[in-house]
């Protein structure tokens, strides 16, 4: 079962990770672990975000001004660094979404089974 | 400052950022573990699972860090650490390079600090660019710039419109009573507006006034230097208005100058000049001038005006001024006239030193980078970033050059002190006055930084250039033994030949200067300096004749004194008066000749050869007919083919024309420094024409201190109010005359020695390298029966060919460059074939000797090596 899950897992496309993070954060601030878990759960375990990609991405997005962060105590009483979307981040998310939709459409057109 | 703060702030922020990241990762792991425990895992397993899921913490943190934009700084730090490690692995290389750089940079810094102090730094006066000096131009062939006659000065001052002010100054000794004893100090005599010209106001009191210029010298005003006021009057705040007893007069202190005002450098006090008819002297040129240009006037416009005025004066006073003209120089150039060219020559010499040093280091680096090609090649093959590699090589070069610069600065600091200690501490050596100004200030450090950056570029460019077009195939083939090595050799050979070219230029310069110096030492002074001593003899205001008679009698009678005489000139050289022939006046009017008033013993003291007639004796007293003696040079020049004895000369003296019978001709007594030609000279008997100040010259036993005491006793037995000044041996006086040329030849000699050593190290290194690269070839040659001597010859010939190429190139340059130092040379041509051939042979021999060691190694090659090596 575990092995099967790993086989089915999809590598996150370069560049889409940023979008996934922004998307995940649009419902409210989350810490790194929660972001990874949310993406994993929502993708029904198909996407697993490695810490080695997640944290560089978070820090990069923060540097670009799309995310902001501060230390807060979680509902379980743990101190954690929470990231939230900035205004610029929301704009960026919209841009990424429309880009992604166009890309999906394009890929779909290319990939649809040819007739006859 | 702000930059430093910024750096600190980012460093602090960086620390916090790092801490944040660690915390973040820890929180992630903790929360993950807690969740797993909540789902029923055992705590240890939960922690482990969390860790496993997270992946390599180090890799994650490193990847995250790289997004911070810190990487460049990090990498540079890493590069420096790596460079340091790589350099420490090559202690020999680093030692040779740092020492070479230290010598080059140190010498450059030291010489530049003098150039900076003497030629570049603005003078410490307000608006120094408006200060200018006016000179007379002597029309005779060896004339050039001369000092100025007081009457000319007065006329210039009255007629000039381009100058706001013109003032004059001249040196003088002054007897002052401080406490119990009179003491001889150095005073500058100046015209009344001297301080105003410089634009410097006195610290206390005021400067001179117009009236001071006309005051007779027995109620003179005096302005004290800060140094003199502090040392002798304990900074007495009420000094202004007090009087000091002088040797001949009372001096009233009118002002004290601020500590920054030191001009002329040796002046302890300033006294006014120009009174009592002095201003009417035109033909005696012994004043120096400094003027302040009107706002908006240039040196050129002032020069044009002065030339025009001088032309008018020449027409008005043809006897004194015929064909004399005037010139104006910026003041900062005027006061360094005598050392300007020498300093630029020295600067040129050190630039050659640094060029040789760089070529040498470039060669060494080339060898080292060649042995590192494999390493670099492999790293490139393994995917190392090319720019990163270049940067690393650059950091290595930078590190070496920083170390070399630090050592060079220490060396410079030490050598500046050593350099000045080579000079006698007299006012004679023009360099000494810049002693205090020579500092490693911002300008100098900037210059050092510039050189240092240049060396860093050389140090890095060579290995970078060398590794840039390194292909993978080259490195795998084993450092590119074939194609690249040829190119590498060519560059290395070029560097070595270049070093020889530079070395021969320096060596030739040093050879010429040393020969000039030796020739100066061997100059015929016309007298025998050992045993001669000289000192100033103070004269009373009244009763000079009696005083001179009695004092001279006592001195001559003193034990240990063989003979003593008085003469008008001080330290040889200075007084000039116009003369003419009475019977056949010279076509171009009066000529300026050296003028000396001497007592009859003068000829017993200096012992010139009597060429014709007789010397002065008791017959030539003050009321006897006027007579004169001329030197051989004057006789040859103005009485060619005639016997001058019995003929008459007209002497223009204090606005009179005195007729004198020539009673004798004596051999030339050199009054000028060895670099100068002996001038025609006329001598008159002291009793008939005593000079204002007297100098004692004395042949005898004992040291100067003893003689000074003896003279002091003789003076006090006649006049208790006068002080004897310091006695100097003639040897001292003469050696201080050649002290500056001596310093130049020592310095250029040192630079040349460094250059030769570096060039020799260079050629040795190159040949050793070539031999080691050609071990195979040598081994094969030995195997097929080449004799050891053949191999030795092969290598040595290579060395000679290289050095010859460099020397030939260098000699061509030498012919052009040594011409620039013509004024520093004495009785030798800048392209003296003997010197040039000599240094070329010397250098060639050194080069062959240096080639011999690698040649021996080549000859001892074991033929088996060829088999083993590949």
**Are residues B25 and A55, on separate chains, in Cβ contact within 8 Å?**
yes
Identify all chain A residues contacting B28, using CB atoms and an 8 Å cutoff. 31-33, 51, 80
For B154-191, the pLDDT digits (tens) are 999 999 999 999 999 987 767 777 766 667 778 888 99
| pLDDT of A6 above 60 | no
Contact across the interface for A79 and B60, Cβ inside 8 Å: no
**Counting beta carbons within 10 angstroms of the beta carbon of residue B180, is it exposed (0 to 12), middle (13 to 18) or buried (19 or more)?**
exposed
pLDDT in tens, B717-734: 888 878 887 888 888 778
Residue B386 Cα, gap to closest chain A Cα (Å)? 25
Measured between beta carbons, the chain B residues lying within 8 angstroms of A55 are 21, 24-25, 60-61, 63-64
Q: B32 contacts in A (CB within 8 Å)? A: 33
Helices (H), B66-193: 71-88, 91-115, 150-159
Q: What Cα–Cα distance (Å) separates residue B13 from each residue in B57, B63, B70, B180? A: 22, 19, 11, 73
CA of B66 vs chain A CAs: smallest distance (Å)? 8
The tens digit of pLDDT for each residue in A72-102 reads: 888 778 889 999 999 999 999 998 899 889 9
Reported as a single tens digit per residue, the pLDDT across B288-333 is 899 999 998 999 999 999 999 999 999 998 878 888 899 999 988 8
User: Measured in whole angstroms, how far is the alpha carbon of residue B480 from the centre of its chain?
Assistant: 49
Q: How many CB pairs under 8 A join A and B?
A: 61
pLDDT at B666: 94
CA B349 to mean position of chain CA atoms: 11
What contacts 24+ positions apart, CB below 8 Å, involve B236-245? B237/B204, B239/B204, B239/B205, B240/B204, B240/B205, B241/B205, B244/B176, B244/B177, B244/B178, B245/B176, B245/B177
Can you tell me the distance from the alpha carbon of B88 to that of B400, in angstroms, rounded to the nearest whole number?
11
Contact B386, B380 (CB under 8 A): yes
* B381 in Cβ contact with B121 (< 8 Å): no
Are B24 and A81 inside 8 Å of each other by CB? Answer: yes
> CB distance from A79 to chain B under 8 Å?
yes
- Residue A51 touches partner B, C-beta closer than 8 Å: yes
pLDDT by residue (tens digit) across B482-497?
445 666 677 788 888 8
Distance of alpha carbon B600 from alpha carbon B543, whole angstroms: 20
CA A11 to chain centre: 12
Q: Which residues of B224-263 are buried (b: 16+ CB within 10 A; e: fewer)?
A: bbbebbeebbeeeeebbeeebebbbbebbbbbbbeeebbb
pLDDT higher at B366 or A52: A52
* Closest CB to A51 among B28, B66, B68: B28
Of B56, B61, B67, nearest to A63 by CB-CB distance is B67
Residue in A59, A60, A80 nearest the CB of B27: A80
Predicted confidence at residue B615, as pLDDT, reads: 92
Residue pair B795/B858 in contact (Cβ under 8 Å)? The answer is yes
Query: Min CA distance, B8 vs chain A (Å)?
Result: 20
Residue A55 and residue B68: Cβ atoms within 8 Å? Answer: no
- pLDDT for the residue B480: 43
For B9-31, give the DSSP string.
HHHHHHHHHHHHHHHHHHHHHHH
State which residue of chain B sits closest to A63, comparing Cα positions: B68
Question: What is the ipTM score, two decimals?
Answer: 0.85
In sequence order, which residues have a C-beta less than 8 Å from that of residue B178 and are 6 or more positions away?
B232, B244
Of B24, B55, B63, the CB nearest to A32: B24
φ, ψ for residue B565, nearest 5 deg: -145, 165
Cα–Cα distance for residue pair B460/B25, rounded to 1 Å: 41
Q: What 8-state DSSP symbol labels residue B125?
A: S
Which one of B23, B37, B67, B69 makes the best mutation probe of the A interface by having the most chain A beta carbons within 10 Å?
Answer: B67
Q: Does A80 touch chain B (CB under 8 A)?
A: yes
Contacts of B53 in chain A (CB under 8 A): 51
Rounded Cα distance between B174 and B368, Å, is 67
Across the interface, of A31, A51, A59, the residue whose CB is closest to B27 is: A31
Q: Which of A41, A58, A59 to mutate to test the interface with B (most CBs of B within 10 A)?
A: A59
Dist CA B434 CA B601 (whole Å): 40
Q: Are B651 and B579 in contact (CB under 8 A)?
A: yes
- Residue pair B688/B622 in contact (Cβ under 8 Å)? The answer is yes
For chain A, give the mean pLDDT: 82
- The per-residue pLDDT for A13 is 65
Residue of B31, B55, B68 lying closest to A33 (CB–CB): B31
How far A109 CA lies from chain B's nearest CA (Å)?
36
Residue of A51, A55, A78 lying closest to B30 (CB–CB): A78
- Judged by CB atoms closer than 8 Å, whether chains meet at A31 and B60 is answered as no
With CA atoms as reference, the chain A residue closest to B60 would be: A52
Shortest CA gap A100–chain B (Å): 24
Determine the Cα–Cα distance for residues B227 and B262; give it in Å rounded to an integer: 9
What tokens were used for B171?
A: 């040196």
Contact B200, B258 (CB under 8 A): yes
HSE-up of B10 (CA within 13 Å, CB side)?
A: 9
CA torsion sign for B17, B22, B25, B28 is: negative
Which residues in chain B come in under a pLDDT of 50?
478-483, 870
Confidence (pLDDT) at B602:
92
């Amino acid at each position: 079962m575990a092995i099967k899950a790993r086989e089915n897992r999809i590598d996150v496309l370069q560049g889409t990770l940023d979008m996934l993070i922004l998307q995940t954060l649009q419902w409210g601030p989350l810490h790194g672990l929660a972001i990874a878990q949310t993406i994993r759960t929502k993708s029904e375990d198909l996407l697993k975000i490695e810490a080695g990609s997640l944290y560089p991405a978070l820090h990069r997005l923060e540097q670009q001004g799309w995310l902001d962060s501060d230390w807060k105590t979680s509902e379980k009483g743990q101190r954690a660094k929470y990231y939230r979307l900035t205004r610029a981040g929301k704009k960026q998310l919209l841009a990424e979404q429309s880009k992604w939709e166009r890309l999906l459409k394009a890929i779909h057109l290319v990939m649809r089974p040819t007739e006859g | 400052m702000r930059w430093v703060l910024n750096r600190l702030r980012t460093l602090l922020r960086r620390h916090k950022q790092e801490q944040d990241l660690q915390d973040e990762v820890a929180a992630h792991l903790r929360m993950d573990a807690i969740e797993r425990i909540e789902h029923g895992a055992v705590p240890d397993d939960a922690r482990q699972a969390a860790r496993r899921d997270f992946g390599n913490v180090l890799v994650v943190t490193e990847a995250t860090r790289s997004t911070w934009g810190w990487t460049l700084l990090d990498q540079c730090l890493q590069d420096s650490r790596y460079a340091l490690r790589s350099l420490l692995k090559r202690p020999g290389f680093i030692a040779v390079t740092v020492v070479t750089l230290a010598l080059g940079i140190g010498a450059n810094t030291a010489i530049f600090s003098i150039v900076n102090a003497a030629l570049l730094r603005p003078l410490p006066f307000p608006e120094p660019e408006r200060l200018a000096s006016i000179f007379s131009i002597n029309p005779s062939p060896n004339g050039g710039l001369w000092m100025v006659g007081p009457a000319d000065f007065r006329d210039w001052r009255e007629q000039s419109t381009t100058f706001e002010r013109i003032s004059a100054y001249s040196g003088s000794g002054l007897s002052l009573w401080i406490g119990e004893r009179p003491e001889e100090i150095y005073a500058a005599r100046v015209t009344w507006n001297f301080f105003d010209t410089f634009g410097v106001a006195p610290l206390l009191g005021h400067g001179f006034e117009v009236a001071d210029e006309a005051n007779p010298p027995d109620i003179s005003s005096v302005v004290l230097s800060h140094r003199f006021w502090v040392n002798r009057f304990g900074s007495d705040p009420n000094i202004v208005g007090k009087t000091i007893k002088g040797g001949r007069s009372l001096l009233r202190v009118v002002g004290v100058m601020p500590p920054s005002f030191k001009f002329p450098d040796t002046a302890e006090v300033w006294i006014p000049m120009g009174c009592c008819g002095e201003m009417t002297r035109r033909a005696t040129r012994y004043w120096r001038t400094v003027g302040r240009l009107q706002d908006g006037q240039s040196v050129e416009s002032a020069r044009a005006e002065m030339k025009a005025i001088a032309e008018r004066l020449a027409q008005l006073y043809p006897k004194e001024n015929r064909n004399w003209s005037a010139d104006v120089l910026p003041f900062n150039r005027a006061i360094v006239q005598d050392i300007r060219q020498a300093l630029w020559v020295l600067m040129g010499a050190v630039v050659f030193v640094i060029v040789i040093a760089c070529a040498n280091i470039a060669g060494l680096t080339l060898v080292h980078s060649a042995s590192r090609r494999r390493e670099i090649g492999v790293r490139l093959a393994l995917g190392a970033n090319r720019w990163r590699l270049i940067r690393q090589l650059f950091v290595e070069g930078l590190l070496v050059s920083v170390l070399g610069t630090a050592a060079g600065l220490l060396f410079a600091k030490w050598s500046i002190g050593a350099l000045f200690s080579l000079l006698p501490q007299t006012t004679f050596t023009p360099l000494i006055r810049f002693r205090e100004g020579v500092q490693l200030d911002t300008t100098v450090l900037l210059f050092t930084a510039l050189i240092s950056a240049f060396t860093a570029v050389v140090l890095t460019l060579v290995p970078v250039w060398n590794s840039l077009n390194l292909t993978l195939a080259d490195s795998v083939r084993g450092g590119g033994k074939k194609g690249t090595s040829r190119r590498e050799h060519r560059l290395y050979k070029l560097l070595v030949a270049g070093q020889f070219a530079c070395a021969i230029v320096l060596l030739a310069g040093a050879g010429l200067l040393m020969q000039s110096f030796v020739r100066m030492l061997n100059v015929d002074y016309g007298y025998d300096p050992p045993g001669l001593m000289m000192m100033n003899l103070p004269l009373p205001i009244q009763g000079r004749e009696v005083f001179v008679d009695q004092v001279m009698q006592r001195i001559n009678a003193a034990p240990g004194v063989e003979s003593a005489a008085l003469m008008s000139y001080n330290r040889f050289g200075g007084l000039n008066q116009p003369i003419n022939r009475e019977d056949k006046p010279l076509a171009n009017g009066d000529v300026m000749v050296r003028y000396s008033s001497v007592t009859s013993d003068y000829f017993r003291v200096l012992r010139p050869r009597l060429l014709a007639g007789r010397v002065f004796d008791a017959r030539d007293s003050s009321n006897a007919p006027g007579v004169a003696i001329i030197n051989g040079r004057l006789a040859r020049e103005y009485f060619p083919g005639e016997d001058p004895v019995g003929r008459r000369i007209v002497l223009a003296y204090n606005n009179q024309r005195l007729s004198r019978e020539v009673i004798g001709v004596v051999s030339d007594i050199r009054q000028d420094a060895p670099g100068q030609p002996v001038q025609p000279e006329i001598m008159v008997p002291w009793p008939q024409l005593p000079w204002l100040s007297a100098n004692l010259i004395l042949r005898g036993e004992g040291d100067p201190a003893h003689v000074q005491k003896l003279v002091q006793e003789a003076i006090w037995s006649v006049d208790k109010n006068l002080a004897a000044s310091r006695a100097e041996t003639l040897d001292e006086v003469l050696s201080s005359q050649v002290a500056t040329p001596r310093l130049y030849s020592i310095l250029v000699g040192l630079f040349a020695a460094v250059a030769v050593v570096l060039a020799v190290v260079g050629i040795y290194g190159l040949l050793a390298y070539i031999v080691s690269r050609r071990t195979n070839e040598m081994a094969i040659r030995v195997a097929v029966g080449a004799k050891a001597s053949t191999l030795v010859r092969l290598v040595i010939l290579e060395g000679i060919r290289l050095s010859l190429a460099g020397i030939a190139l260098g000699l061509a340059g030498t012919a052009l460059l040594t011409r620039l130092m013509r004024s520093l040379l004495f009785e030798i041509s800048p392209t003296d074939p003997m010197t040039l051939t000599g240094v070329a042979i010397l250098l060639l021999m050194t080069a062959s000797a240096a080639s011999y060691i690698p040649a021996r190694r080549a000859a001892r090659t074991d033929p088996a090596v060829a088999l083993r090596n590949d």
